[in-house]
Structure 1
Amino acid sequence: MKSLRLILSNPRYFAPAWVFASLNILFGTWAIYIPLVKESLQIDKATLGIAIFFLSLGVFTIFPVASRIINRLGVGRSTWIGVLLICATAILPVLAPSFITLAIALFLFGATNGFTDISMNTLVTEIEKEDKQNFMSAAHGFFSLGGVLAGLGSFLIPILENRVLHMLMAILLVFSVNLAFYGRYRRIVAAPIEKEPFSFRNFKPLLLLGLVSFVIMGSEGAIVDWSGLFLKEVSMAPEAIWGAGFLGFQFMMTLGRFLGDAISARIGSAKIVALGATLAILGFVMVLTANIFMAVGGFALTGLGFSVIVPELFRIGGNIKGVESSQGVAFIAGTGYSGFLVGPVILGFIAEASSLSWTFAVLLLCTVLVLLASFLLRRRKK
């Protein structure tokens, strides 16, 4: 919990951590209104899926150019601009009067989310370099905390009965806290590096990190989408327990991220990726027993294992020799988002062709590959 205490006691670290929370507060608030937006626009699930695709398209559109913008403006200033942009665009999807305007609104919201994501991860990487302090994992814990706050905000739905007002309240919360603290990071710029001409030698570690990011975030997406269905159809759990797997996964992921920095400082990045993968493997084995309580515990253990891996990938990617930190972060974020969005779809075909048990068996195999990749990372570091 050292990094959490660091964030809560020092505005220099709280300021960027709150940006992480801000991103998920606004995204989560939009997400809880998706059913109502679908109903008010009178569109079917397929049409809604197309609209949400534009959110992903916006994210992917910004990734190739984000690092150039960040390097030109400075990482601190870019993060503040990202906050302003997500505050400006978060209101658009809940205001959309038609499918076309919803698709455009989600594209803009996705693009600003992607830009802010890369900026804030690069910012934390640079502060860690300057101060020799680890708090990347705890910053990602604040992202998870933002999702919890957005979820708690769902209790306001029957009270407010106005999604625009609800979103404006979330925007006001995000903007006001960031306004109070953005001066702590606004002037931070990326440390100059000795640039090298492109070579596969520099790209190779990024490729490995990107593949791990794709697998882990793809697995996260699968658990978010299918943990409840697994408990229902495979474990034959009663309805009251269908959400227990997801809740355990999210709670342990949040807890693990607040603990991860201290562990990383003690054992190193490669070892903590290996540790996280090992815990996740044990978690998937427990899930595949199909016993209700073992499966719920397995989802929680998998969340604990996954919690420390993605923050560590950003930390490693932002410190590769000859590669600008913003470029490394952008590549890992891009591959990770690809996994989160595409992975569940691919695994869905497996579930349709065979069963959910086979789907989670594939996730187990992929996590074993992540464990093997961690040994490659450790050997490269040596």
Structure 2
Amino acid sequence: MNSLLLILSRKRYFAPVWVFASINIMVGTWVLYIPRVKEKLAIDDGDIGIALFCYAVGGLFAVTFSSKLIDAIGVGKSTLYGIIIFSLLFLFPIVAPSLVLLCISLFVAGMSSAFTDIAMNALVSELEKEDEVNFMSAAHAFFSLGGVLGAGIGSLVIGAVTFPFIHIMGVAFVLIVTNVLLARNFIAIVNNPVEKESTGFSLKLLKPIFALTIISFIVMGSEGSLEQWSKLYLEDVVGVSLEWLAGFGFVIFSAAMTIGRFFGDEISSRIGSYRIIIYGLLIAIVGYIAILSRSQELSLVGFGLVGIGFSVIIPELFRVAGKAKGVTPSQGISIVAGMGFVGFMAGPAIMGSLAAAFSLWTSYLALGIASGVAFVAAMLLFLKRR
């Protein structure tokens, strides 16, 4: 909790963390209107999956050039420009008149999302090195908190919203204004030059951290899938008729993620990284069982359990990868983070394909089975370490 107090006490740290929250406020608001977009365009779950896949492809494409562009512009300016452009671009998917234009708008939004994500994480990393502080985990907690704010507030007002574009535009306006006002606390920050080391990718690098990459892909893929598909699941499978209540699946998931990330570091220091990963996956599996019950109450509880279970796994994977033998810390963390990003962006698209081929319930069953695979991988890692 010390990092939370640090963030709340100084604008120098709160300003970049608000970008983390802002990006997920926008996404959390957008996901509430996916069912309306689906209905307006008269498309099915498979088409939605294709559109979300375009979002993933856009993000992956941006990864290829974002680092060089951020270095050229400066990490502070890149973070501000990124969140402004991202907020504006998410005005277009909601008004897209066809599936093709929906796919194009989400592809461009995905590019902006990845660029902003890389910039804001680099910014926090620079601040941590400059000031010798540690608040990266808490910054990611604010990312989850952003989802709570976006989907939570949106769920409460969505019943009165006649024109979704007005809602999205209002959220974008608030985010742009607040980030512009706060940006003076970080806009001048640039990447400090570092001694270059060999970081070229090789298949040999995967061997010592292969299990970690599997867990990262599954956990982040599940997080992205739950973010995009939770409301449709509650409406179409569970049968929640109240639109505002259906949006609370993602709210509960994000709230649980936020709480877990604020307290996870202390728990990890007591029981260790491997145990917290194993226990977290067990909790998530129980959560999926509750979600698959089709009961309204149990499903909502299940979203919370999955959020708690997954909340601290990614930070712990980074910690373990940084200490893995056979790779440098930067190599280990970058590969595990990269696989997690691929999972986060591709997960919703895979869910859509499964839903189109089988059913949305089957898609969630697949997520539960994947969590079981991650649990087995974590157990094998733990036993090997012992």
| 1:35–1:337 Cα change, 3 Å | same
* Partner residue, 2:29: 29
* Partner residue, 1:81: 81
**5+ long unaligned stretches in structure 2:** none
Q: Give deviations 1:228-264, integer Å, cap 9, x for gaps.
A: 969997xx99979988866543332221122224445
More divergent stretch after superposition (70-79 vs 316-325): 316-325
Describe how 1:86-235 pairs up with structure 2 within 5 A.
86-151=86-151, 152-157=153-158, 159=160, 161-186=162-187, 187-190=189-192, 192-196=194-198, 198=200, 199-200=202-203, 202=205, 204=207, 207-221=210-224, 225=229
SS where residue 3 of structure 1 aligns?
Answer: helix
Q: Give 1:310 shift.
A: 2.4
Contact 1:63–1:330 (Cα < 8 Å) also in 2: no
C-alpha distance in 2, partners of 1:305/1:273? 8
C-alpha distance in 1, partners of 2:207/2:122? 20
Q: Give deviations 1:344-380, integer Å, cap 9, x for gaps.
A: 357659976996896466234223134236539x95x
C-alpha distance in 2, partners of 1:299/1:47? 25
C-alpha distance in 2, partners of 1:251/1:195? 39
* Partner residue, 2:309: 305
More divergent stretch after superposition (313-322 vs 113-122): 313-322
* Partner residue, 2:369: 362
C-alpha distance in 1, partners of 2:336/2:124? 11
C-alpha distance in 1, partners of 2:268/2:163? 44
| 1:217–1:79 Cα change, 3 Å | same
Q: Give 1:124 shift.
A: 2.6
More divergent stretch after superposition (133-142 vs 90-99): 90-99
State the aligned residue count.
376
C-alpha root-mean-square deviation of aligned residues, in Å? Answer: 4.2
Alignment of 1:273 onto 2:273: no
Q: Give 1:214 shift.
A: 1.0
C-alpha distance in 1, partners of 2:184/2:12? 9
SS where residue 195 of structure 1 aligns?
Answer: coil
Contact 1:55–1:108 (Cα < 8 Å) also in 2: yes
C-alpha distance in 1, partners of 2:289/2:198? 44
C-alpha distance in 2, partners of 1:201/1:43? 47
| 1:353–1:254 Cα change, 3 Å | closer
Q: Give deviations 1:182-231, integer Å, cap 9, x for gaps.
A: 23333141561441263555555565443222111233356564799699
Contact 1:28–1:150 (Cα < 8 Å) also in 2: yes
Q: Give deviations 1:310-349, integer Å, cap 9, x for gaps.
A: 2444566689737479955862443232552355357659
C-alpha distance in 1, partners of 2:263/2:34? 33
Alignment of 1:372 onto 2:375: no
C-alpha distance in 1, partners of 2:67/2:55? 20
Contact 1:24–1:150 (Cα < 8 Å) also in 2: yes
Contact 1:66–1:115 (Cα < 8 Å) also in 2: yes
Q: Give 1:130 shift.
A: 3.9
Contact 2:53–2:348 (Cα < 8 Å) also in 1: no
* Partner residue, 1:44: 43
Q: Give 1:113 shift.
A: 0.9
SS where residue 22 of structure 1 aligns?
Answer: helix
Equivalent of 2:351, from 340, 344, 348? 344
TM-score by length of 2: 0.77
**5+ long unaligned stretches in structure 1:** none
SS where residue 196 of structure 1 aligns?
Answer: coil
| 1:214–1:35 Cα change, 3 Å | same
Contact 2:211–2:378 (Cα < 8 Å) also in 1: no
Amino acid at match of 1:273: I
| 1:228–1:373 Cα change, 3 Å | farther
Q: Give 1:86 shift.
A: 0.6
More divergent stretch after superposition (324-333 vs 147-156): 324-333
